[in-house]
Amino acid sequence: MLMRTDPFREFDRLAQQVLGAAAPGTWSRPSPMPMDAYRSGDEFVVVFDLPGVSPDAIDLDVERNVLTVKAERRPIEVPDDVEMQVAERPLGVFSRQLFLGDTLDADRIEAHYDTGVLTLRIPIAEKAKPRKIAVGSAGTERQQISS
């Protein structure tokens, strides 16, 4: 099970709509990034939108079941003699933290980045998968739990 860690995300979105585009994020105060999360069979899939981010500018860390995703969208390089007319694409650092429940296997997370979308696949831990338990009667020996 995944748990969101940003209770003020909706407030931040509303403030951005009212006040206009937010200032770019920094490593000390990153901007949030949009995501989807769903369960598919025996894994959770988390998808982040990171258009314009180079794969080497994405940082994934797991510490004590907290998954941290940080990415930095850097400005494009333009020659010195170029005068920028419009610059609306947000730049800077984007970050999200997710608490991974004990039912997820944080040691086997897989990450894939393609066309501006980061996809993480987090397997369900074996200990959390359903299993059959045999029931013995009073006159028989106890039976083992079967997986």
Q: For residue range 53-71, list pLDDT tens digits in order.
A: 999 999 999 998 899 999 9
Residue with tokens 């040691």: 107
* Percentage with pLDDT > 70 across the chain: 72
3-state secondary structure of 40: strand
- The pLDDT score that the predictor gives to residue 22 is 44
pLDDT(24) > 60 = no
- The pLDDT score that the predictor gives to residue 92 is 85
- The pLDDT score that the predictor gives to residue 8 is 59
pLDDT(2) > 90 = no
- What's this model's pTM, rounded to 2 decimal places? 0.67
Distance CA 46, CA 39 (A): 9
pLDDT(21) > 50 = no
Closest-CA residue to 98 (of 72, 63, 131): 63
Closest-CA residue to 117 (of 59, 68, 49): 49
Residue with tokens 């994405």: 58
Q: What's the CA angle centered on 114, arms 44 and 10, to 5 degrees?
A: 55
CATH architecture of 2-77+86-146: Sandwich (2.60)
What is the distance between the terminal CA atoms of the chain, rounded to a whole angstrom? 21
Q: For the beta carbon of residue 95, count every other beta carbon within 10 angstroms.
A: 18
